[in-house]
Chain A
């Protein structure tokens, strides 16, 4: 007998239909979850990610393959550095946690490194939760190497694997993120640090779910430890990064994600995103999901090239940058703006239209002056 269909299982069932028969869901990782926050208004992305659709395969099937890839050099170097940081039972890593986050605690002379091996992500997550509880109660240092955390995302669990979690003697937990970009004279590339902070914030949220199930609930520290190579060497150095803001933003986005039920309900019957469907059918399915494309998507979303083509075909001004919208008032397409600027359309009383006309006049005057000066077409 099938279990009674609750709201959650109904949604899961619906999302599986959207994904297509026999297509396994693509697990959401922390990076993808953090990227959701970059463009929360995009329904297309929210639904496809929420349903576990493989956007890379979808983009290729649509004929606009994504350009994301990782060089094996970067991959090898990242792994080598992480292994070095964790070598020797994580002695160096624990020393850095002690030095940067808890200098008043006892030095981590001997730390527990619990074995987290188990079968399947659910098993590993359960094993991790158990190890965290034991470590918190033991009152000593503990290092959890690649623990598995589960986070509920829009009704389905996402499994996340931080580089490490450290349990302090006072029972608090710290997320450790190991990156292979260098910290040069104590500072690192702000863009990369920001990405690492957003990613860590997702881990903090997932840990807080684990902590909430314990009594008393241990504190998850909001300062994470970012470990990077020092200068041009392969020696680790670290800095504490406060992720309160990123955590708040991500949490807000995650709660908003429950909307995917509404988005799914608005889709026509029989919509499916299986990559083996014919291109026309897939294109129509994707078109039925409204997107909010902006150039920033190019760095964060596999479907960006597809959405960009559509956005340009529609002449949307946001394809040139989000900031443009602010000064153009209600005019959203290139044709509308140019028609208003050249006086063939638009209400001259509208301040945005008046400013555009004045701008067009001044531009024409300046370009005309330059052309005359050079003996250009005006002569």
Chain B
């Protein structure tokens, strides 16, 4: 944690209210996000118990698995979920704009521009917490290798149609969420902790109710007291007033309320199966429906508070103005979404269980590059983030005190003006260290020449080296003037790709060798073998 973040937390402790950790919003928020509040059954590797899902904050859809161990009921749940999520995703896949992408021409081997479709917008999934994102990945993994009756008429326990497709989409969302700065799938707790510093630890910040209590405490209450109430307060029945945001439930809820309700449901179902005539069956069907309704009410009572909290958190985030470079990162999310849409349409197989070496290396390279991009862009968009970089000696801000025109010593001399900046910051500068400032959204580079005055003093001399046009005189506005406030960074603003990876055909044997080698090609992904007791 940077010292500024530490101070913000301590200020939050003193004021009893969360303090800003950002002055702009650093993540894209969709006009119409899909919110998903899932619950799972304890101990059952992610067997869903129910969920609230939807895009309308006033009308969430409630999905419930009254007996989480029953395969048919779980499949019914997943099919319903697919019927909500897939139309939402598909709606974004249909609206496209023309865009250019450079590809390697297979015949000439040259990079050429090709015109392709780019979806004008992309779907956005919001989960309450980080464990919710893990659950999305788990759901994706559990569904994408299932086979439907259409694919394999002989296999037992076929999955409902569209369930494997939902699995592929959730897998894609889950993988994309690992890319720093991406916004296709977000956890609300991550979003809130990025923008506010509370007076509690980051461990406690994982509790959505406590986090919101610090950021927006109820009238007349401190964040500390409200957070403690959210964490611990129980009703006369021993149930938490603010249920955990899931997907795990509170053990007291499981043992006192849920387990008896599921037992009643099981009994009603057994009684219905044993009914001997129609009249009796009608009666017992009534019991079963009542038992199911009871479980639905229980699941809703544990998910609705979280559902409302998620929308409340989104409201708070929307009050922050969007950072200038957020749209650029969202465009990358749109590319990612369009790419997966194309793979699905092209009939490619589901994502493999394990990535091959080339894919894994590419993914890692992407994440590293995007992390560097995110760090740079957040600093440029937000003076509070830049303050942290300045404190760390990675940037400096100040006022121009002098500009001396100078020229390069080539045949056609170009302008190389010397700019003196007075700053209170202490950047880590060495001779000819490159520094950058943002000029109309583009980076302008300069070199550090030396100190005007004592070594390590507050007057820095820089030589501007580019973005001044082609003429002998620099273009209007391309060189700072005396009295201008400026902010230079020691890090680059745009991320260049690292060393290029070898072409797939050149993959060394240490990394599995080139694809095409029959040993290295993974077999088409096999479905998970169904067993009597499998979970999802």
- Chain A residues within CB distance 8 Å of chain B: 67, 69-78, 180-182, 184-185, 229, 231-235, 295-296, 298-299, 305, 312, 315, 317, 319-321, 323-324, 327-328, 334, 337-338, 341, 355-356, 358-363, 365-367, 369-370, 373-374
List B contacts of A67 (CB < 8 A). Answer: 232
| B23-47 interface code vs A (CB 8 A; 1 in, 0 out) | 1100000000000000001111100
Question: Which single residue of chain B is at the shortest CB-CB distance from A299?
Answer: B203
List B contacts of A363 (CB < 8 A). Answer: 4, 7-8, 384, 387
Distance between Cα atoms of A362 and B384 in the complex (Å)? 8
Q: A341-B10, A363-B384, A367-B23 are in contact. List 14 more A-B contacts (CB 8 A).
A: A70-B251, A73-B44, A74-B44, A180-B45, A185-B354, A232-B535, A315-B13, A320-B201, A334-B14, A359-B7, A360-B7, A362-B387, A370-B383, A374-B321
Question: Which single residue of chain B is at the shortest CB-CB distance from A235?
Answer: B531
Contact present for A362 and B43 (CB under 8 Å): no
Contact present for A365 and B387 (CB under 8 Å): yes
List A contacts of B45 (CB < 8 A). Answer: 180-182, 229, 232
B239 at the interface (CB under 8 A from A): no
Contact present for A358 and B534 (CB under 8 Å): no
Inter-chain CB contacts under 8 Å: number? 152
Contact present for A78 and B43 (CB under 8 Å): yes
Partner of B384, one of A71, A295, A360, A367: A367
For the complex formed, measure the closest distance between the CB of A38 and the CB atoms of chain B, giving whole angstroms: 13
Contact present for A320 and B13 (CB under 8 Å): yes
B447 at the interface (CB under 8 A from A): no
Contact present for B533 and A234 (CB under 8 Å): yes
B290 at the interface (CB under 8 A from A): no
Contact present for B43 and A184 (CB under 8 Å): no
B217 at the interface (CB under 8 A from A): no
Partner of A356, one of B1, B3, B528, B531: B3
Contact present for B531 and A367 (CB under 8 Å): no
B386 at the interface (CB under 8 A from A): yes
Known: A69-B252, A233-B533, A295-B201. A359 touches B4 (CB 8 A): yes
For the complex formed, measure the closest distance between the CB of A372 and the CB atoms of chain B, giving whole angstroms: 11
Distance between Cα atoms of A324 and B321 in the complex (Å)? 30
Known: A73-B42, A73-B254, A229-B45. A320 touches B390 (CB 8 A): no
List B contacts of A320 (CB < 8 A). Answer: 6, 9-10, 13, 199-201
Contact present for B254 and A72 (CB under 8 Å): yes
Contact present for B43 and A75 (CB under 8 Å): yes
List B contacts of A361 (CB < 8 A). Answer: 424
List A contacts of B138 (CB < 8 A). Answer: 184
Distance between Cα atoms of A242 and B308 in the complex (Å)? 45
For the complex formed, measure the closest distance between the CB of A77 and the CB atoms of chain B, giving whole angstroms: 4
List A contacts of B43 (CB < 8 A). Answer: 71, 73-78, 180
Distance between Cα atoms of A69 and B252 in the complex (Å)? 7
Ordered by A's residue number, 12 sampled pairs between the chains whose C-beta atoms are within 8 Å are A71-B249, A73-B41, A74-B251, A295-B201, A317-B10, A320-B6, A327-B1, A341-B10, A356-B7, A358-B391, A366-B383, A373-B23
List B contacts of A229 (CB < 8 A). Answer: 45
Question: Which single residue of chain B is at the shortest CB-CB distance from A319?
Answer: B201
Distance between Cα atoms of A315 and B9 in the complex (Å)? 12
Contact present for A295 and B204 (CB under 8 Å): yes
Partner of B386, one of A180, A235, A366: A366
Question: Which single residue of chain A is at the shortest CB-CB distance from B231?
Answer: A67
Question: Which single residue of chain A is at the shortest CB-CB distance from B531?
Answer: A233
Contact present for B142 and A232 (CB under 8 Å): yes
Distance between Cα atoms of A362 and B8 in the complex (Å)? 12
For the complex formed, measure the closest distance between the CB of A369 and the CB atoms of chain B, giving whole angstroms: 5
For the complex formed, measure the closest distance between the CB of A218 and the CB atoms of chain B, giving whole angstroms: 35
Contact present for B528 and A341 (CB under 8 Å): no
B202 at the interface (CB under 8 A from A): yes
Distance between Cα atoms of A72 and B2 in the complex (Å)? 42
Question: Which single residue of chain A is at the shortest CB-CB distance from B13?
Answer: A334
For the complex formed, measure the closest distance between the CB of B254 and the CB atoms of chain A, giving whole angstroms: 4
B515 at the interface (CB under 8 A from A): no
B110 at the interface (CB under 8 A from A): no
Contact present for B252 and A324 (CB under 8 Å): no
List A contacts of B10 (CB < 8 A). Answer: 317, 320, 334, 337-338, 341
Known: A69-B252, A334-B13, A334-B14. A295 touches B203 (CB 8 A): yes
List B contacts of A334 (CB < 8 A). Answer: 10, 13-14
Q: Which 8 A-B pairs have the closest CB atoms?
A: A74-B43, A370-B23, A71-B42, A69-B251, A295-B201, A234-B533, A71-B254, A362-B387
